[in-house]
Each structure stands twice: as C-alpha cells, then as structure tokens.
C-alpha cells in the first residue's frame, strides 16, 4: 500500500516537473561536453531518453498506453542509437544511424495514426518538403565528396527523416490536434532534422568538438517537444 502511494506521488511529480528536470539534465550534459568530462558526459547522455520515456508514461492518460506504442518504440531506438553513437568506430556510427532510422519510422507511424495522408490537403507537406529539400541539398553539397562508403546510408537516412518531418507537418490537417502540431510536432521534427544535419556536417566536414554541444541541444529539444506532444495528444483527442 505504501509502495503504491509513493509510486503515485513520484509519477505525479514527474508529470508536473519532468520537463524542467529534463532541461536540467540536458544542460548538465552540455556542460560535461564543454569541460571534457567524458564519463559524466556518457552517463548524462544515457539518462536523457529513459527519463523522457518515464515522463511520457507519467504524463499520458492511461487510455493512451496502446496508442503511444510507436512513441515508446521511437524512444527505445533513440536510446540504442545514443549508446551506439557513444562508441568510436565506423561500424558503431552505421548501427547508430540504423537505430535512429527505427526512431523516425516509429514516429512516422505515430503521425500517420493521427492523420492519414490526404494529398488534397497537401500544402503543409509540400511546404515541409521544400524546406527539407533545401536543407538536404546543402548538407550533400558540403559533405558529398567526404561521405565515402557512408554516402548511400546517409542519403537513405535523409529520405526517412524527411518523410517523418513531412508526416509531422501533415498532422496539422487534424482539427483536434492542430495546436499540438504547431507547438510540438512540427518544431520537434524540425529540430531533429537540424540536429542530424549539424551532426553530419560536424562528423564529415568541420570536426569541431564544440559543435557537439549544439548537436545535443537541438537533439534534446527535438525529443522533448515530440514527447510533450505525444503525452498531451490523449487529452486533445
């Protein structure tokens, strides 16, 4: 009985203050990157996604448990990607990228559950596609000759994350979740694209350790925005 009481209190606190706690964890992680604390950097990075999964569980209506399965799957793949990308070596980078492809596919499924494709209401998707084409072209132009064996996997990755972002934009056509789309889904998908573009530019072109902070900030903001949207979707359906 006492255990159930404390669990209820803990879930209530996570629901209320979870976003603030996540922001603190993310900022601490960036500080550890800046000061070169490798071990603390790794530990703090591995806490980010599991905490967001816990927040999603605490903040979502219990009736949404089944509906949120793609969101949990996306977070699981993201955590695996974080673990793999924390290791050095080209094979870990490739497998990490494959894990994040799983994240984007999972999120795409979630967005399709909200709003099916309707090409008669395709203006948001077209607008998103144009922006993504510009970003992708810029990344390819700057890194194309440096990608080597990663060129095909990188191109495939760019297509899949672009599809995810386009499907996020498509949910604006769903009347009930339109506000969530504007506040969370579109910005979250946009920050995800920006983070991965910065990651690719830094890995293959600039190789500046300081850019890792910007990569993680945009990544953390992206995941947090998406999870807030996922958690609040049940209250708006």
pLDDT tens, residue by residue, 3-26: 676 778 888 889 999 999 999 999
The pTM of this model reads: 0.92
pLDDT of residue 88: 85
CA within 13 Å, CB half, 188: 22
CB atoms within 10 A of CB 30: 19
In this predicted structure, the answer to whether residue 237 has a pLDDT above a threshold of 70 is no
CA distance 50 to 12: 17
CA distance 233 to 236: 5
pLDDT of residue 236: 56
pLDDT tens, residue by residue, 119-143: 777 788 888 888 888 888 888 788 8
What value does the mean pLDDT of the chain take?
90
CA distance 218 to 230: 18
pLDDT of residue 1: 60
The mean pLDDT of 77-104, rounded to a whole number, is 95
pLDDT tens, residue by residue, 27-49: 999 999 999 999 999 999 999 99
Unique residue bearing structure tokens 């998908």: 189
Q: Which two tokens stand for residue 110?
A: 């979630």
pLDDT of residue 235: 56
In this predicted structure, the answer to whether residue 193 has a pLDDT above a threshold of 60 is yes
pLDDT tens, residue by residue, 164-187: 999 999 999 998 899 999 999 999
């Amino acid at each position: 009985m006492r255990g159930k009481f404390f669990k209820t209190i803990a879930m209530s606190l996570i629901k209320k203050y979870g976003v603030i706690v996540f922001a603190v964890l993310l900022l601490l992680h960036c500080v550890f990157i800046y000061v070169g604390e490798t071990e603390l950097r790794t530990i703090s990075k591995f806490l980010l996604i599991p905490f967001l999964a816990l927040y999603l569980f605490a903040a979502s209506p219990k009736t949404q448990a089944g509906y949120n399965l793609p969101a949990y799957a996306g977070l699981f793949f993201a955590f695996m990607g974080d673990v793999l990308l924390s290791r050095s070596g080209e094979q870990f980078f490739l497998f990490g990228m494959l894990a994040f492809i799983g994240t984007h596919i999972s999120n795409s499924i979630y967005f399709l559950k909200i709003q099916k494709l309707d090409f008669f209401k395709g203006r948001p998707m077209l607008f998103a596609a144009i922006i993504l084409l510009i970003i992708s072209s810029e990344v390819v132009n700057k890194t194309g000759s440096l990608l080597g064996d990663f060129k095909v996997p990188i191109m495939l990755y760019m297509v899949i994350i672009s599809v995810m972002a386009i499907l996020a934009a498509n949910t604006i056509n769903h009347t009930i979740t339109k506000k969530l789309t504007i506040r969370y889904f579109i910005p979250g998908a946009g920050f995800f694209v920006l983070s991965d573009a910065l990651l690719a530019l830094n890995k293959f072109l600039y190789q500046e350790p300081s850019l890792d902070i910007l990569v993680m900030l945009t990544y953390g903001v992206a995941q947090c925005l998406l999870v807030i949207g996922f958690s609040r979707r049940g209250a708006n359906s």
